[in-house]
Structure 1
Amino acid sequence: MSLLAPVDFTPVAVLFDMDGLMIESERALLECWREAALELELALDDALWLSFVGLSDRACHDLLRQRLGDEDTVQALLHGLQRRYDARVDAGLPLKTGVLELLALLKARGVPRAVVTSTRRPRALQKLESTGLLPHFDDVIAGNEVQHSKPAPDIYLLAAQRLGVAPSYCIVLEDSVPGVRAALAAGMTPIQVPDLVIPDDAVRALGHRIVDSLVQARALIEPALKASLPSGA
């Protein structure tokens, strides 16, 4: 399969990750990470934070504890990070190019849409409300609603169950590698729109579609939607 081949089936639902995929949040979070580490005089490079992309809060905390050792330092870092990031969220984070147009297309064609994010539900709803995205979705499935986070398939299987659709006919839009692996493990078709973390050869070997933007993702999805329209539509 070509990595830019249009989707070859009629999707019954499209599932969206949130941070880095629809919301321009990862760059803001990276800046807050740098500032919080600098305040505590910690020598932490960007690669550490980038390794957290797509993981649950619990997994990120465990990785930080392994790196820093001292729980008090971990908590101080997280507190500084959260304080700065809260201010960014409250001020409003921008949307990714093409997200509103894609959502409008799917709504017009009657395709169910859900947010599937590793973020905890209260925070996810806050972000979706502040960006105006929440009304565009039929459901929100958050990281604290499953026992095993991405790259386990649990959260995507729960999304299919909640929407009442077959996993094999779901398209997943993801920016992160854990999210792509979760979608594949759930038997779904992922389209990856990388943000800060560029896919390496091992990721590309997974064989899924990788595009530069949600505009390109729409170009791969729309032909399948047109094919499902009744004659004369």
Structure 2
Amino acid sequence: MKLDFPIAAVLFDMDGLMLDSERAVLRAWRQAAREHGHDFDDSVLHAMVGLHDRLCRAMLLERFGPDLPIDAIFARTEALYLGRIEAGIPLKPGLTELLDWLDAVRLPKAVATSSTRQRAQGNLRSSGLLPRFPVSVCGDEIEQPKPAPDIYLKAADLLGVAPAHCIVLEDSEPGVQAALAAGMTPIQIPDIKPPSTALRALGHRIVGSLGQAHSLLREAVWQRTCCLV
């Protein structure tokens, strides 16, 4: 479980990892689908967690057929979601303490989210996180979305660090797969959807909170500092 390599940067997913926003997204999906005569049950909603919009579209059309009013449902979902987050998005417990510590030990950090730049900027701004992340990569800025490694490789490149020395904090299965494909070390903090048996078999680190992830990082940095003394 210990992190036994030099950590050069920590890369953060956004929804469900830093922001308690996934539930609002899924409620918006469910309502929008019902308004257009369809039922997105939990299996459908959970399958979309962590996926880029393009992959969500493909999955929904495959499941419900080409007659699904996909554009109307997407537009209504976005409107409902924006309405629900106008008052601000709650931060996940332990996030502020983790960010403060990373700043204190001068570990670079970045956001790598499947959300579009417009949505990500809005969410980070309304939650007060925007000034804390000078580097971010969004789902509409890369060729292949999660679970492909593109978004994390681009974030590492912008920070000027080697992928092998990056920690990735993720809540979703596609995000963990993307981190592993990028040659990085993911720490998963599951949100709505628990890790599947197949995902657990990958052998990555899974913890129950950002506080626990913080403890792993702090121990790794402390041990390396002691070794250099």
Structures share a fold, TM > 0.5? Answer: yes
Deviation at 1:82, TM superposition (A): 1.3
Task: Deviation per CA, 1:131-177: give whole Å up to 9, x if none.
Answer: 01111123011111110111111111111111000110100000011
Find 1:74's aligned residue among 55, 70, 81.
70
Residue pair 1:56, 1:150 contacting (<8 A) in 2 also: yes
2:127 to 131, 143, 149: 131
Map residues 118-157 of structure 1 onto 2, 5 A cutoff: 118-157=114-153
Which of residues 163, 175, 185 is equivalent to 2:159? 163
The residue that corresponds to 2:187 in the other structure is 191
- How many Å separate the matches in 1 of 2:84 and 2:39? 23
Question: Out of 192, 200, 203, which is 1:204 matched to?
Answer: 200
- Of 38-47 and 154-163, deviating more is 38-47
Partner of residue 224 from structure 1, selected from 204, 220, 223: 220
SS, match of residue 138 in structure 1: coil
2:4 is equivalent to residue 8 of structure 1:
yes
**What secondary structure sits across from 2:69 in the alignment?**
helix
Identity within the alignment, %: 52
1:20 is matched with 16
1:22 Cα deviation after fit: 0.3
Partner of 2:48 in structure 1?
52
1:48 partner amino acid = V
Report if the CA contact (8 A) 2:114-2:146 is conserved. Answer: yes
| Distance (Å, rounded) in 2 between the aligned partners of 1:10 and 1:138 | 22
One-letter amino acid matched to 1:204: R
Q: Is the 8 A contact 1:14 1:170 kept in 2?
A: yes
Distance 1:211 1:218 in 2: 10
5+ residue gaps in structure 1?
none
- CA drift of 1:18 comes to 0.3
**Contact 2:188 2:206 survives alignment (8 Å):** yes
Q: Distance in 2 between matches of 1:122 and 1:100?
A: 23
* Counterpart-to-counterpart distance in 1, 2:159 and 2:133: 11
* Residue pair 1:68, 1:74 contacting (<8 A) in 2 also: no
Distance 1:216 1:87 in 2: 32
Q: Which amino acid aligns with 1:47?
A: S
For this pair of structures, how many residues does the alignment match?
Answer: 228
Per the alignment, do residues 50 and 200 of structure 1 end up closer, same or farther by CA in structure 2, a change over 3 Å counting? same
What is the rounded CA distance, in whole Å, between the counterparts of 2:226 and 2:107 in structure 1? Answer: 15
Aligned-partner Cα distance in 1 for 2:170–2:189: 6
Query: SS at the partner of 2:85?
Result: helix
Aligned twin of 1:106: 102
Q: 2:175 aligns with which of 142, 166, 179?
A: 179
Q: Determine whether 1:214 maps to 2:213.
A: no
Question: Which amino acid in structure 2 is aligned with residue 150 of structure 1?
Answer: K
* Alignment root-mean-square deviation, CA: 1.6
1:9 is paired with a residue whose SS is coil
Would you identify which runs of 4 or more consecutive aligned residues in structure 1 move more than 4 Å? Answer: none
How far did residue 10 of structure 1 move?
2.5
Give TM-score scaled by structure 2 length. Answer: 0.94
For 2:2 and 2:88, the matched residues in 1 are separated by: 34
Structure 2 unaligned runs (5+)? none
Q: 1:230 to 1:44 in 2, by over 3 A?
A: closer
